[in-house]
């Protein structure tokens, strides 16, 4: 899949903060699994994937992954969401999708 020529370019941290500002009801309705957006920054092609799933304990896991397809670099960050609000994710929760 190629990035559209006029695709918007969003900074990784900007996109993560945008997700955190969404109302909890909207975050909980994100589709399960990942949703990929492709874009270009200069000569490099990037993919942003927003991952959402729900743990057995009811917490929602929201993870943003950025993949630089040109040099093969991956960056991830995210947060958990439950009735008490947004919280941090452990490294295991950020990286383990099994």
Q: Is residue 4 part of a domain?
A: no
| C-alpha–C-alpha distance, residues 33 and 19, integer Å | 16
pLDDT at residue number 24: 92
- Is 76 inside a domain boundary? yes
pTM: 0.82
Burial of 50 (0-12, 13-18, 19+ CB in 10 A): buried
Q: How confident is the model at residue 8, as a pLDDT? A: 56
Q: For residue 4, is pLDDT > 70? A: no
**Is residue 54 included in any domain, yes or no?**
yes
Structural domain containing residue 78: 12-95
Q: What is the pLDDT of residue 7?
A: 54
Query: Domain total for the chain?
Result: 1
Q: What is the pLDDT of residues 27-68, one digit of tens each?
A: 988 888 777 888 888 888 899 999 999 888 889 999 999 999
Question: Taking the CB of residue 27, how many other CB atoms lie within 10 A of it?
Answer: 18
Q: Is the residue at 81 inside a domain?
A: yes
Q: Is the residue at 1 inside a domain? A: no
Chain segment 87-98, per-residue pLDDT in tens? 999 888 888 877
């Amino acid at each position: 899949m190629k990035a559209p020529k006029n695709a918007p370019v969003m900074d990784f941290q900007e996109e993560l903060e945008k997700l955190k500002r969404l109302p909890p009801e909207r975050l909980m309705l994100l589709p399960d699994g990942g949703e990929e957006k492709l874009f270009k920054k200069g000569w490099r092609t990037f993919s942003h994937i927003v991952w959402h799933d729900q743990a057995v304990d009811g917490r929602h896991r929201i993870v943003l992954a950025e993949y630089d397809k040109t040099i093969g670099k991956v960056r991830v960050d995210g947060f958990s969401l439950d009735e008490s609000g947004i919280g941090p994710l452990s490294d295991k929760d950020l990286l383990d999708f099994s």
